[in-house]
Amino acid sequence: MGKNLQTGGRLRPIDLARAHGLSTQAVRNYEEAGVLPAADRTPSGYRAYTPLHADALRAFLALLPGHGHPTATAIMRAVNRGAADEAFRLIDESHAQLLDDRRTLRAVEDALRDLDPTAAPAASDPGGTFVGPLARQLGIRPATLRTWERAGLVRPHRDPRTGYRVYDGAAVRDARMTHQLRRGGYLLEQIAPLIEQVRSAGGVEPLGAALDDWHRRLSARGRAMLAGAAALEAYLRARG
């Protein structure tokens, strides 16, 4: 291990654990996963941690809210094996994902703003579309539309002559809303009550609270990334 691991006094697993409300087993697991650098052992075989390990643990826990467990783990592993550029690449990818999520949210808001909340043509309306063309328009598989139908999110009618599914204006609206909300990370069971509210209200206003929550979650991620970056920088400085 590097020189920094030998300085600053010895810490026990319980010392690291108590400082962050963790179990000692969790601390050992983090070391085994490469989140913490490998610890020295005492003559009796006990792990001997140092303040540098405490810095590493603080950095990891600070990275978690903004980057998620897999990416935070990969970042720390890269740093601990001396591959800082790999860690920076992973951080860049997380920021790119956050930016993409912000663009998705903007697209959702634009799409909902453009929806005609009262569109519900009759079954015979020649403007209806079939499952294949609608799936291509949304960039999804026809099977996905059928899954949404089984979940009650989309309600196509059947062509009386062919038996094919036909999506009128209201069904297309619901499919677009479902597609955009899925892109935003919402589960089908979370989307279902929103769709029902839109149908009963005759408009998309009930989605306002969900969009506000989405904005808050993205802002929280962005701020968490800043906190994670500060803690990681402190750990990098401690490593020397």
Amino acid letter, residue 31: E
Do 7 and 91 fall within a single domain?
Answer: yes
CB-CB contact of 197 with 206 (8 Å): yes
**Structural domain span for residue 90:** 3-96+222-239
Per-residue pLDDT tens over the stretch 9-29 = 789 999 999 999 999 999 999
Q: Is the pLDDT of residue 3 over 80?
A: no
Identify whether 84 is part of a domain. yes
Selection from 97, 63, 53 nearest residue 185 by Cα: 97
pTM passes above 0.75: no
Do 135 and 197 fall within a single domain?
Answer: yes
Do 196 and 139 fall within a single domain?
Answer: yes
Do 85 and 124 fall within a single domain?
Answer: no
Do 190 and 233 fall within a single domain?
Answer: no
Give the C-alpha distances (Å, rounded to integers) separating 239 from 46, 51, 72, 172, 227. 23, 11, 18, 56, 19
State residue 119's pLDDT score. Answer: 43
Per-residue pLDDT tens over the stretch 189-201 = 888 887 887 777 6
Do 126 and 182 fall within a single domain?
Answer: yes
Q: What is the dihedral of CA 100, 102, 105, 106, to 10 degrees?
A: -100
Do 13 and 73 fall within a single domain?
Answer: yes
Identify whether 34 is part of a domain. yes
Token code pair at residue 232: 């990681």
Q: Where are the alpha helices (DSSP H) in the chain?
A: 13-20, 24-33, 51-67, 69-80, 84-114, 131-138, 142-150, 169-183, 188-201, 208-239
Identify whether 102 is part of a domain. no
Identify whether 59 is part of a domain. yes
State residue 169's pLDDT score. Answer: 83
- Average pLDDT of the residues of the chain: 86
Per-residue pLDDT tens over the stretch 112-164 = 676 544 444 333 344 589 999 999 999 999 999 999 999 999 999 998 888 89
Q: Total structural domains in the chain? A: 2
Q: Is the pLDDT of residue 7 over 50?
A: no
Do 89 and 120 fall within a single domain?
Answer: no
157-158 vs 47-48, strand pairing mode: unpaired
Domain with 31 in it: what CATH number? Answer: 1.10.1660.10
Do 66 and 124 fall within a single domain?
Answer: no
Q: Is the pLDDT of residue 85 over 70?
A: yes
State residue 130's pLDDT score. Answer: 92
Q: Is the pLDDT of residue 52 over 50?
A: yes
Tell me how far apart the alpha carbons of residues 110 and 138 are, in angstroms, rounded to a whole number.
15
Per-residue pLDDT tens over the stretch 87-101 = 999 999 999 999 988
Per-residue pLDDT tens over the stretch 205-214 = 767 887 888 8
Distance between the two ends of the chain, CA-based, in angstroms? 13
